[in-house]
Amino acid sequence: MARMNIQGAPVLDLTADIVELTTAIVDIESVSGNEKQLADAVEAALRGQAPHLEVIRDGDTVIARTHRGLPQRVVLAGHLDTVPLAGNLPSTRRFREGREELVGRGTCDMKGGVAVMLKLAAEADDAPMDLTWIFYDHEEVAAADNSLTRIAAEHPEYLVGDFAILGEPTSAGVEGGCKGTMKLDVTARGIAAHSGRDWVGDNAIHHLAPVLERLASYRARRAVIDGLEYREGLNAVAISGGIAGNVIPDRARVTLNYRFAPDTSIAQAEAHVREVLSGLDLEIEVTDAGAGALPGLDTAPARQFLAALGGEVPVAAKQGWTDVSRFSALGTPAVNFGPGDPLLAHTDDEHVPLPDLHQALEGLRRFLTREGS
């Protein structure tokens, strides 16, 4: 558990061992919308233990940065929120398959990455580049609620840099760019009737059958960009319709999620879905969308980062969507790098191997200190 001050607020010790610091951060519950206590602790730790940083509070986002006039600026960002709990807080430790793990909500996604960044924010006071650290809220909800959406609109200068690193879980490897994502509601209309006289109605649910058939036979594209393979996917993720067991439904809806390669724009993605469903009498509405991000591994700071990590670190495409997209939209190449297996994010058994924490810390430390220059 995190230490408490005399007012009973959690205190984070940025000089603590990385496992202890991660544990303290994980044990401050911060489900989306409830990030204030953790943001308070992060702000207090940076103001009290990193005097070389300018610290800015924007809602429940904490920004810290240097102003040394160096020719390069690197932005490092991590979100403070988690998905809802599943009886997995406070955190626990276990030894399994020859390694020790920290278990609990947020250990993987992405408080391990936040801990690594916080510790280095205090340490890297003589980095060979200017640094901006961003610890932000509301990532695990709709894009409109993500604090980076607001900051990009109101203070885009906070996000500007030559290179950005997002601390999403990558098992301490590097995942370049990210896929775009789009959610769409596909609605079929019919005519309501008593189910005993179905011939006077028109069953809207039945009109969704061709949609499901097309999705089931859909063959997703695999796009290779800068040597990284992004696998697309178009899937039904929810379906609804009907009001009672004796009523022919006059409306039915299937929700689709399209994950598309970063060489595809949002407009192109929507056009593709409409093409897949062309010829069907349906209403199609885009309810949420986020652009992808190209790998960004061919820039000088990206090459320096990879060199600091060493040739053994795996490099792959990010198969999900992450906030590297926001940096890419501002012209800042960005990658994902953090401890924890991304396949464990949001699971009831969410955990992070302790070696991942140490590996991510040491790799990023080499890049941000004179060891990596």
Active-site residues: which are they? 81, 139
Q: Which of 105, 90, 101 is nearest to 32 (CA)?
A: 105
- 8 A C-beta contact, residue 215 and residue 274: no
Compute the distance between CA of residue 293 and CA of residue 338 in angstroms, rounded to an integer: 18
- CA-nearest of 82, 92, 85, 2 to 41 is 2
Any idea what DSSP says for residue 83? P
Q: Is 40 exposed, middle or buried (0-12, 13-18, 19+ CB in 10 A)?
A: middle
Output the six-digit token pair for 93: 């430790």
Token match 């960044």: residue?
117
Instruction: Give burial (CB, 10 Å; 0-12/13-18/19+) of 58.
Output: middle
And the tokens for 339?
Answer: 């401890």
| Cα–Cα distance measured from residue 251 to residue 312, given in angstroms and rounded to the nearest whole number | 54
Question: Which residue in this structure is represented by tokens 């098992």?
Answer: 171
Degrees to nearest 5, angle at CA 188 with 184 and 192: 145
Using the CB atoms, write b or e for 153-173: b if 16+ within 10 Å: eeeeebbebbbbbbbbbbbbb
Q: Are 346 and 83 in contact (CB under 8 A)?
A: yes
**For residue 54, what is the enclosing H or E element?**
strand 54-58
